[in-house]
Amino acid sequence: MKLSKLSKEDLENMSYDDIAYEILKEKGKNFKIIDLFNQIGKLLDFSEDKIEREIEDFFEMLTLDKRFIMLENGSWDLREKHSEKIIIEDEEEDDIEINIEDNDEPDDDTIFYDEDESDDADEDLKDLVIIDEEEE
């Protein structure tokens, strides 16, 4: 949907986060929060005063909407354009990194297990003591 082709009435019926989503999708680049909200304000003919009053609510809306991601430089973009990096810390091994594209869960085929894991499990169980209830 092209925002420029929508009537002002249609735009007014959209939420700010839906408009922001379409702006980020159409422009294909990320924006600082003030610049993104100014784009929305331009489409909806907001006064500077209204932009200043409502930008805090807009920021909160973006932080709660899972479609958006705040980048390290403080700008906002669509989450679907960025992969998530998960770091699993292992006490005995180096950190393991898993990249998940487009918020998909990793398949079992993409997870690599340590072949020596069974030996570690046996080692962990060697000091296990089983107490019979009758002995208590």
Of the pLDDT bands very low, low, confident and very high (cuts 50, 70, 90), residue 103 is low
Is the pTM above the cut of 0.75?
A: no
Q: How far apart are CA 112 and CA 52, in angstroms?
A: 50
Q: Looking at per-residue confidence, does 42 or 106 come out higher?
A: 42
Q: How far apart are CA 90 and CA 94, in angstroms?
A: 6
Over residues 17-27, the pLDDT tens digits come to 999 999 999 99
| Domains recognised in the chain with CATH numbers | 3-81 (1.10.10.1250), 84-131 (no CATH)
- For the chain, how big is the Rg over CA atoms in Å? 25
Task: Retrieve residue 97's tokens.
Answer: 């990194």
Long-range contacts of 59-62 (CB under 8 A, 24+ apart): 59/33, 61/15, 61/16, 61/17, 62/17, 62/20, 62/33
